[in-house]
Structure 1
Amino acid sequence: MDKKIIGIDLGGTTIKFAILTLDGEVQQKWSIETNILEEGSHIVPDIIETINHRMELYNMQKEDFVGIGMGTPGSVDIEKGTVIGAYNLNWTTLQPIKEQIEQALGIPFTLDNDANVAALGERWKGAGENNPDVVFITLGTGVGGGIISEGNLLHGVAGCAGEIGHVTVDPQGFECTCGKRGCLETISSATGVVRVARKLSEEYAGESQLKQMIDDGQAVSSKDVFEFAEKDDPFALMVVDRVCFFLGLAVGNLGNTLNPSSIVIGGGVSAAGEFLRSRVQKYFEEFTFPQVRNSTQIKLAQLGNEAGVIGAGSLALKFLEK
């Protein structure tokens, strides 16, 4: 039997799993709910139990697997295989995940930050086309990212490389949860788009269905903002333009600094598709010099929810080299 890898994408509400070939083809996938009760103490036992169950179900042995890779929120120590500060999982204390999983399953285990892992997935089997230089930005509730340079995922001295959401784009802008002002996350995340809309609506005087909803105190989502913009609502178009200006500025600076083959945009906000991408591209071209402008492409992510498990699986390929 050909050897396999397991990819795990650990999230605050669900844990996704996949069994993949060494070429990154997903053969089976499943998910379980994330039980964050009692300081997240059930999470690792639940992971072990569901993998054991699958292996029994398909009559697989630990020898059939090269390794297990996992993407997780929080601060990750890659060498030790530990996580701390994943608050959406109730993990406030140090979690020795690698030790627990390897002991229980007898399969080599490795992990990394969830945004880094999604970047690896998009680079390997998605829009990155397996190029050695790819930057991935995920626009969700926050803004995350991952940088792959010359084939290697960049981590930085404190594991903070690729925190694209905290690039300052507007020094006088909104306060960020990180404690500083004007982070990209405060503008281009799903919550940021709505914040920009509320702020700009204070000074906008023209006709607009979106502005009317905000003035009436109705709940508005980033999806609403983009949908109204696509219907030519003049205020919604103004909001989208502001969001894309700052996103284009951040992406332009990444292009000028790293000159990757592609900068891939994923996450919930990227569901706006070409409408978003083309506007970011316009500002990217404004903020880059010719050689970068002509060699770095702005692309939309292709893998959706599978990026995490595929990227996590790719982490386990390092066990082949040993």
Structure 2
Amino acid sequence: MKLAVFDIGGTTVKTGTFVDGKLTNLSSFQTPKTLGDLFEQMHRFIDGNDIQGIALSAPGDVDREKGEIKGFSAVPYLHKRPIFAEIKAEFGLPVAIENDANCAGIGEMKVGSGKAFKNVAFIVIGTGIGGAVFFDGKLYRGKHLTGGEFGFMTTASGKLFAQDGTVVNATKSYQAETGKQIDGKMLFSLANQGDKTAQKLINHVYDVLAEAITNLQVAFDFDAFILGGGVSARADLAIEVSKRVKARLSRFQLNEIMPAIKNCQQHNAANLYGAAYNFLAGNNNA
């Protein structure tokens, strides 16, 4: 089966063609302002290409039974409307949609760092923090479709995990403290050069991630945690977080429940793979 696959983000829509387990024709375009404009862009990748189905990764709480996406996001026109039916009517093809963090998890479970494990938590670190949970290899969506929304947990400082545990917010803190305009890559570069403020902020992010993982591990005893998002391109992310989780568990003589902690393998392609495998699992409105 030949699928057109789309990963809809607040700034960019990534796209590709999925055939026989492989992604090809990878491309992207700026996220349109309206659903009509999104459809216009999608037609460019679908029409005349012998596409047999459409698989989407999207923000929000995807309710397959009602055929809509609940919640809210940076792409408001996707929400609280019969989006499954509208896409099927527009293109005359079966459609599958799943939450973007869940898609990242599905992709990594199939062709990435999660494939060797059964009970896995994915923590996706970007502007905020999302996640996905798998028990016995199956996605756990939760009664209210919010399984894996780790970003709403609170940290020791009383902030949301999504506010306290990201490089994006660490970068904002650096700018507020120093008046210098930098991005995340520059923050790490400054830390490597000995900048004490940058080192303090990055260490704080690692500590917050370790705190959250330790609490989740004590509660659920996962086989592994997979770290995703842009910062997962740094090989030292999983290493630094692992050291801190191990130290926290050792403090309470809980070394034996130390989980594997790994960076994701597929990075930006994980959502596309996950959307495709979600479709192939029968979660479409064919």
> Shorter-chain TM-score: what band?
0.7 to 0.9
**Aligned equivalent of 2:168, options 181, 185, 191:** 191
Distance across 2 between alignment mates of 1:157 and 1:193:
33
Does residue 49 in structure 1 map to residue 43 in structure 2? Answer: yes
CA contact (8 A) 1:131 1:151 kept: yes
Q: CA deviation at 1:33?
A: 2.7
Distance across 1 between alignment mates of 2:186 and 2:210:
21
Please give the residue correspondences for 1:272-311 in structure 2 after superposition, counting only pairs within 5 Å.
Answer: 272-274=234-236, 276-288=237-249, 289-293=254-258, 296-311=259-274
Question: Residues 257 and 68 from structure 1, CA distance in 2 versus in 1: closer, same or farther, beyond 3 angstroms?
Answer: farther
Aligned-partner SS, 1:263:
strand
Does residue 237 in structure 1 map to residue 199 in structure 2? Answer: yes
* Aligned match of 1:117: 103
* Aligned match of 1:80: 66
* Aligned match of 1:162: 148
* Aligned match of 1:261: 223
Which structure would you say has the larger Rg?
A: 1
CA contact (8 A) 2:166 2:205 kept: no
Report the aligned-residue RMSD.
Answer: 2.5
**Aligned equivalent of 1:35, options 29, 32, 45:** 32
CA contact (8 A) 2:55 2:95 kept: yes
* Aligned match of 1:178: none
Q: CA deviation at 1:309?
A: 0.8
Question: Residues 308 and 49 from structure 1, CA distance in 2 versus in 1: closer, same or farther, beyond 3 angstroms?
Answer: same
**Aligned equivalent of 1:225, options 166, 169, 187:** 187
* Aligned match of 1:26: 23
Identity %: 27
Distance across 1 between alignment mates of 2:78 and 2:114:
34
Question: Residues 31 and 236 from structure 1, CA distance in 2 versus in 1: closer, same or farther, beyond 3 angstroms?
Answer: closer
* Aligned match of 2:209: 247
Distance across 2 between alignment mates of 1:196 and 1:272:
21
Question: Residues 85 and 145 from structure 1, CA distance in 2 versus in 1: closer, same or farther, beyond 3 angstroms?
Answer: same
Q: Which runs of 5+ in 2 are unaligned?
A: none
Q: 1:275-294: per-residue Cα shift (whole Å, max 9, x none)?
A: x322211111123322221x
Distance across 1 between alignment mates of 2:229 and 2:111:
16
Distance across 1 between alignment mates of 2:73 and 2:25:
29
Distance across 1 between alignment mates of 2:119 and 2:79:
35
Question: TM-score w.r.t. structure 2 length?
Answer: 0.87
Q: CA deviation at 1:77?
A: 1.3
- 4+ runs deviating over 3 angstroms: 84-87, 195-199
The aligned amino acid for 2:276 is G
Distance across 2 between alignment mates of 1:93 and 1:187:
27
Question: Residues 187 and 228 from structure 1, CA distance in 2 versus in 1: closer, same or farther, beyond 3 angstroms?
Answer: same
Question: TM-score w.r.t. structure 1 length?
Answer: 0.78
